[in-house]
Amino acid sequence: MDMELQIVESLEQFRVLKMYEHPIEPEDDLKVAELPGKWEELLEIADKKDFLVLGYKDRFARSTQQIIETFKQEVQKEYENYLSNGPGAEHVTLD
């Protein structure tokens, strides 16, 4: 959305320059006129790329969930070990 607003602003600025007959390089005028089309092409390419990597994203999310579950279990085991053998356990003395 920000980029689209910037494109519209650029088009408007060039329109005002033309309105007041300010000299504009023809190639600059052409480049500004092409901006909306190029932006649409980029959006289309991005959507296609996003669609192509959907499978990878899904597999990555599932494998990450598995890693998280394993990590949670390991942390729970360590916490239980800490509670039973750590400094607060009844059988542990400071001596």
Model confidence pLDDT, tens digit, residues 12-58: 999 999 999 899 999 999 999 999 999 999 999 999 999 999 999 99
- The 3-state DSSP composition of the chain as helix, strand, coil percent (nearest 5) reads 80, 0, 20
Residue identified by tokens 């990590």 is 71
pLDDT at 87: 79
So what's the pLDDT on residue 15? Answer: 93
Place of tokens 């279990």: 73
Given the structure tokens 């494998």, which residue do they identify?
63
- The enclosing H or E element of 19 equals helix 2-19
